[in-house]
């Protein structure tokens, strides 16, 4: 990709990964980008690098603007390898005066690359570095989503370079938010938040409060993945405020697996009961839907309902995987319910119920367990469970 001037003397020099399809168990079915930025001033600063396989493209983009040997500072906002794995090779080419990072960033760089002789310059929140006409200010954002994470802010341009916050895993030929369909853009942004930042939601709120407190005026947000927020930085900040508070709407997500369609029939009956209560319903068969896509729908759902038959005295493997993944993302302010079918034992419902307890998701009773094929009466009970969940949503939302 050719470099793009996103503001005067500030260039995107990243790489587009059209083919990546998995990111730590999160499906990236439309690829991603590894964004990096070059600031040309009296001192030349390179903010972030890219995943190592894309180093050639990255260096070619830089060379179209400046001789890499003239770069003075390399700013490392985040050490995760998709942003730093080519850093040792880049340092050989560039030979920078400084590698600017947070204290935790230095620790992470040492633990990744074992190079104590590098020219580290540790910065703290609120600290400035002058580039000449432009000034970089730094804001530590620990655990959003690694301990080393920080933001870089170009004060004169009101440009926030936000590392892994406000991003999307989406490979496009466009670079800016106003060049793509907005509903698709925010769908990718929601999926990114739900699968990466959800566990740190309390920190998101604190960060946004800190940004308001110190009075950062933001005209553009440039994340390390996806589109740059040129026209709608306020909208993505507003979305993060909502997602960070884990606000939920009158919506239920039903997640199930099935062996001989008994649990599927139960799931559909639960959905019918919810629909009678005018609750928005999303129904997901785990054989056909990936956990990371389901998480996107869970982000703003009030109720999470799980159904599984019993297999070998346990849940279906897909359900065990879904609940394990969900537990790690730590959703808050949810209610739940469980149901399932069995042949001769019936442990799945008990195990799903225990998983909800561990996640502190308040369960709506009853826990419905059906042997073999549900009768018409059994399906009425499932429908009634859906109504009860709908009533619980009405009380909670």
CA pair distance 289, 141, nearest whole angstrom: 33
pLDDT higher than threshold 80 for residue 262 = yes
> Could you say which of 200, 225, 240, 342 is catalytic?
225
Active site includes 78?
yes
pLDDT at res. 397: 75
- Per-residue pLDDT, averaged over 146-173, amounts to 96
pLDDT at 211 over 90: no
pLDDT tens-place string over residues 222-251 = 999 999 999 999 999 999 999 999 999 999
Asked whether the predicted pLDDT for residue 35 surpasses 90, the reply is yes
The residue among 222, 244, 266 that closes a domain is 244
Rounded to 5°, the CA angle 228-68-226 comes to 15
Q: What is the pLDDT of residue 213?
A: 77
Separation CA 26–CA 372 (nearest Å): 34
Q: Considering the chain, what percentage of its residues have pLDDT values greater than 90?
A: 94
Tell me the residue range of the domain where 23 lies: 4-244
**CATH number of the domain encompassing residue 296:** 3.40.50.360
Measured CA to CA, the distance from residue 322 to residue 329 in angstroms comes to: 11
Model pLDDT, residue 50: 96
Catalytic residue among 11, 58, 73, 192: 192
Catalytic residue, chosen from 48, 78, 169, 200, is: 78
Residue 139 has pLDDT above 80, yes or no: yes
Asked whether residue 26 falls in the same domain as residue 147, the answer is yes
Q: What is the pLDDT of residues 286-339, one digit of tens each?
A: 999 999 999 999 999 999 999 999 999 999 999 999 999 999 999 999 999 999
Question: Among the options 11, 73, 145, 224, which is catalytic?
Answer: 145
Known catalytic residue: 80? yes
Based on the residue annotation, tell me whether 325 is a catalytic residue of this protein: no
Q: 197: Cβ–Cβ under 8 A, 6 or more apart, which residues?
A: 144, 145, 164, 165, 204, 243
Task: Give yes or no: residues 270 and 123 share one domain.
Answer: no
Q: Are 114 and 220 part of one and the same domain?
A: yes
Rounded distance between C-alpha atoms, residue 31 and residue 168, angstroms: 10
Residues 313 and 186 in one domain: no
| Domain match, 234 and 290 both | no
- Comparing CA positions, the residue from 163, 166, 191 lying closest to residue 177 is 166
What's this model's pTM, rounded to 2 decimal places? 0.95
- Side-chain half-sphere exposure of 192, counting CA atoms within 13 A: 27
Burial 23-45 (b: 16+ CB within 10 A, else e): beebbbeebbbbbbbbbbbebbb
Higher pLDDT among residues 210 and 180, named by residue: 180
Judge if 310 and 211 occupy the same domain. Answer: no
* Three-state DSSP string of 148-188: CCEEEEECCCCEEECCCCCCCCCCCCCCEHHHCCHHHHHHH
243 and 299 Cβ atoms separated by less than 8 Å = yes
Query: Would you call 41 a catalytic residue per the annotation?
Result: no
Please say which residue of 244, 278, 298 terminates a domain: 244
pLDDT of residue 184: 97
342 among known catalytic residues: no
Question: How far lies 188's CA from each of 136, 177, 192, 248, 330, in Å?
Answer: 29, 12, 6, 19, 20
b/e for 229-259, b at 16 or more Cβ within 10 A? bbebbeebbebbeebbebebebbbbbbbbbe
Same domain, 158 and 197: yes
Residue 361 has pLDDT above 80, yes or no: yes
Calculate Rg over the CA atoms of the chain. 24
Mean of the per-residue pLDDT values of the chain = 96
Q: How far is CA 34 from CA 17, 86, 223, 260, in A?
A: 7, 12, 9, 44
- Given pLDDT bands bounded at 50, 70 and 90, which one contains residue 8? very high
**164 catalytic residue (yes or no):** yes
Selecting among 82, 140, 224, 257, the annotated active-site residue is 82
Q: Which of 386, 393, 390, 387 is nearest to 307 (CA)?
A: 386
Query: 238 an active-site residue?
Result: no
d(CA 274, CA 386): 5
Which SS3 state, helix, strand or coil, does residue 229 take?
A: strand
| Options 17, 41, 48, 80, the catalytic residue | 80
Distance (Å, rounded) from C-alpha 385 to C-alpha 304?
A: 13
Residue range 51-108, pLDDT digits in tens: 999 999 999 999 999 999 999 999 999 999 999 999 999 999 999 999 999 999 999 9
Q: What is the pLDDT of residues 326-342, one digit of tens each?
A: 999 999 999 999 999 99
**Is it the case that residue 373 has pLDDT exceeding 90?**
yes
Residues 285 and 217 in one domain: no
Asked if the bond preceding 145 is cis, omega within 30° of 0, the reply is yes
pLDDT tens, residue by residue, 180-209: 999 999 999 999 999 999 999 999 988 888
In this prediction, residue 368 has a pLDDT band, given cuts at 50, 70 and 90, of very high
Q: Burial code of 279-309, b = ≥16 C-beta within 10 A, e = fewer?
A: bbbbbbebeebebbbbbbbbbbbbbbbbbbb
Closest CA to 145 of 65, 232, 77, 230: 77
Same domain? 94 vs 160: yes
- CATH number of the domain encompassing residue 202: 3.60.15.10
Asked about 192 being catalytic, the answer comes back as yes
Which one of 217, 244, 271 terminates a domain?
Answer: 244
| Domain match, 158 and 286 both | no
Domain count, the chain: 2
Split at pLDDT 50, 70, 90, the class of 128 is very high
- According to the model, what pLDDT value does residue 176 have? 98
pLDDT of residue 144: 85
17, 41, 48, 164: which one is catalytic?
Answer: 164
- The one-character DSSP state at 366 is P
Asked whether residue 214 carries a pLDDT value surpassing 80, the answer given is: no
Q: 72 with 136, same domain?
A: yes
């Amino acid at each position: 990709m050719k470099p793009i001037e996103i503001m005067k003397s500030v260039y995107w020099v990243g790489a587009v990964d059209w083919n990546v399809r998995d990111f730590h168990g999160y499906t990236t079915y439309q690829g991603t980008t590894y964004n990096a930025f070059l600031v040309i001033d009296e001192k030349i600063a390179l903010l972030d690098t890219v995943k190592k396989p894309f180093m050639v493209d990255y260096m070619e983009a830089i060379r179209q603007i400046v001789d890499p040997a003239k770069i003075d500072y390399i700013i490392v906002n985040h050490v995760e390898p998709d942003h730093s794995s080519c850093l040792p090779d880049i340092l050989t080419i560039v030979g920078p005066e400084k590698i600017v990072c947070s204290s935790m960033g230095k620790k992470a760089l040492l633990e990744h690359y074992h190079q104590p002789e590098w020219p580290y310059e540790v910065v703290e929140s609120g600290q400035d570095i002058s580039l000449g006409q432009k000034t970089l200010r730094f804001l530590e954002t620990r655990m959003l989503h690694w301990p080393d994470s920080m933001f870089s802010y170009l004060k004169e341009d009101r440009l926030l370079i936000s590392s892994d916050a406000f991003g999307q895993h989406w490979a496009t030929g466009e670079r800016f938010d106003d060049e793509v369909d907005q509903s698709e853009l925010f769908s990718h942004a929601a999926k990114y938040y739900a699968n990466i930042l959800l566990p740190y939601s309390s920190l998101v709120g604190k960060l946004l409060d800190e940004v308001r407190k110190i009075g950062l005026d933001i005209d553009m947000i440039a994340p390390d993945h996806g589109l740059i927020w040129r026209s709608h930085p306020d909208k993505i900040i507003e979305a993060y405020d909502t997602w960070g508070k884990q606000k939920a709407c009158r919506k239920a997500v039903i997640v199930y697996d099935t062996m001989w369609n008994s649990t599927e029939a139960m799931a559909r009956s639960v959905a019918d009961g919810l629909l009678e209560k005018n609750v928005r319903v999303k129904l997901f068969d785990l054989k056909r839907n990936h956990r990371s896509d389901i998480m996107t729908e869970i982000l703003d759902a009030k109720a999470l309902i799980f159904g599984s038959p019993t297999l070998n005295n346990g849940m279906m493997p897909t359900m065990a995987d879904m609940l394990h993944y969900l537990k790690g993302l730590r959703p808050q302010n949810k209610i739940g319910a469980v149901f399932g079918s069995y042949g001769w034992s019936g442990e799945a419902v008990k195990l799903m119920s225990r998983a909800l307890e561990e996640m502190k998701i308040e369960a709506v009773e009853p826990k419905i367990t059906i042997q073999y094929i549900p009768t018409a009466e059994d399906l009425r009970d499932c429908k009634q469970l859906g109504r009860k969940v709908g009533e619980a949503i009405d009380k909670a939302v």
